Amino acid sequence: MELNNEDDDRATPRSVLGRRLRRLRETAGLSQRALADKVGYPHTYLSRVERGEQLPSEALAEALDAHFATDGLFVELLSMAQDASIPDYGRAVLESERKAARIQVFGSSLIPGLLQTKDYARALFRTSLAGESVERIEEHVATRMRRKRVFERADSPLYWAIMDEAALKRPIGGTECMCGQIRHVLKVAESPHVALQALPFSQGEHPMLGGSLSLLTLRNGATIGYVESFFSGEQVESAGKILELTHMFDIARSKALPESETLDLLSSYLREYEDEDDS
């Protein structure tokens, strides 16, 4: 969902951020090395940010705002640049995700995005964006991690995720990565706002093999659907289509394990990965 190519010939939040940084630095009469010493980051890092080759981390953006007293400018530009990396078909859905009262997700082969660890997401991006630089990969990881802030809201949404067992069986990033990923899912499951179910291999076929589905219910009761596969996605709002997608989700839910058995299955996979990691 967070993949996109920006047009380098037009102004983008990334390029604006770099230009504002350079202008403020030069106005203050600072070299890149001098600024690097003041904010505690390598001057080569600042140079890449100024040229638009790399986005700053959130910590660096906050440090720049503090140093130049820019009242959150760099943090805001960073957020805009991260949003700009999301394809057009996904931005409206992510905006709804931030406002949702309930989020229902089905993932057929991967751990859902809001439950992913940095290592797990990084392994996925390294494979799907094989030609990208390390810096760009890290930017995509940071963008995906930023989505988790929906859980930090005072009115955190109810989150219901159904995962196909294939998402647990496939060792994304290797055994150590999967150990960390499953531990994280088990920890998240402790929240009263989170419900998890696994759809076991023993249930055979189901209506959402090969794709992923999100149903976002807003506080006014309206529901937005989002269907995604590979590098394409579709936002769905028509009542008839939402009814169809809800029916598909309900079928998957009816085939999935109860939450207690799901946690047992997660724990059994964790033990398997831990045993492999120790061997």
* Biggest distance spanned by C-alpha atoms of the chain: 67
Q: For residue 254, what pLDDT band results from cuts at 50, 70 and 90?
A: very high
pTM, two decimals, is 0.78
Q: List pLDDT tens digits, range 40-89.
A: 999 999 999 999 888 998 899 999 999 999 999 999 999 888 877 776 65
- Give the pLDDT of residue 89: 58
Task: Specify the CATH superfamily of domain 13-83.
Answer: lambda repressor-like DNA-binding domains (1.10.260.40)
Q: List pLDDT tens digits, range 2-36.
A: 444 444 446 888 899 999 999 999 999 999 999 99
- Name residue, tokens 């203050």: 28
Q: Which residues of 166-178 are buried (b: 16+ CB within 10 A; e: fewer)?
A: ebbeebbbebebb
- Give the pLDDT of residue 205: 85
Tokens linked to 75: 């943090």
Q: List pLDDT tens digits, range 96-138.
A: 888 899 999 998 889 999 999 999 999 999 998 878 888 889 9
- Identify which of 84-88, 229-233, 249-253 has the greatest average pLDDT: 249-253
DSSP string, 83-142: HHTS-HHHHHHHHHHHH-SEEEEEESSS--GGG--HHHHHHHHHHHTTTS-HHHHHHHHH
Q: For residue 212, what pLDDT band results from cuts at 50, 70 and 90?
A: confident
Segments making up each domain of the chain, as ranges: 13-83, 88-115+148-278
CATH architecture of 88-115+148-278: 2-Layer Sandwich (3.30)
Average pLDDT over residues 203-216: 84
Q: List pLDDT tens digits, range 164-176.
A: 999 999 999 999 9
- Give the pLDDT of residue 206: 80
Fold match between domain 13-83 and domain 88-115+148-278: no
Q: For residue 263, what pLDDT band results from cuts at 50, 70 and 90?
A: very high
Instruction: Give φ, ψ of 172 to 5 degrees.
Output: -60, 125
